[in-house]
Every structure is written in structure tokens, then in C-alpha cells.
Amino acid sequence: MRPIPHDLAQALEEWHTTYRQLAMQPRTELRRRLIQLSISVVFHPHWQNGNRTAAWAALHTAGRGGRS
């Protein structure tokens, strides 16, 4: 499996941070940022080839700092 690109891992980390902020304080700019980050993650070129399921699982593991 190909390694997770840094920009993709960073976008997922920002997504999690923004999601937590939005849960605590609903704001329009946070909703917009979450949508932008979701698009960045879902439509990243990394997903174009290979096993998407394994890559997605690896990305989420990376997003949790390697915790299962």
C-alpha cells in the first residue's frame, strides 16, 4: 500500500479539529471549513488508484495518531 501523503493526513487532522470546534460552538465559518476539508479528503488524488478500503483505514489510523 502507498504511504498516506502528508497533505491528506493534515487535511484529515484539520477536519477532526474543526468538527470538534463545531460541536462546541456551531458557527457558519466552521461549517464551511468542514465542507472544504471534506472535499479535500474525499477527492484527494491519493484515492484514484489502489485499494481504497485499506488506504481509508490507514488514513483514519494516521488521523488518530496511530491509535486503533
Domain boundaries, the chain: 6-60
DSSP 25: S
Q: Please name the residues in contact with 46: beta carbons below 8 A apart, sequence gap of 6 or more.
A: 2, 4, 5, 8, 55
Beta strands in 1-68 (DSSP E): none
What is the pLDDT, as a whole number, of residue 7? 93
Q: Looking at the predicted structure, is the pLDDT value of residue 2 above 60?
A: yes
- Phi, then psi, of 7 in degrees rounded to 5: -65, -30
Q: Please name the residues in contact with 10: beta carbons below 8 A apart, sequence gap of 6 or more.
A: none
| pLDDT tens-digit series, residues 18-41 | 999 999 999 999 999 999 999 998
pTM over the 0.85 mark = no
The pLDDT confidence band at residue 6, using thresholds 50, 70 and 90, is very high
What is the pLDDT, as a whole number, of residue 53? 74
What is the pLDDT, as a whole number, of residue 48? 80
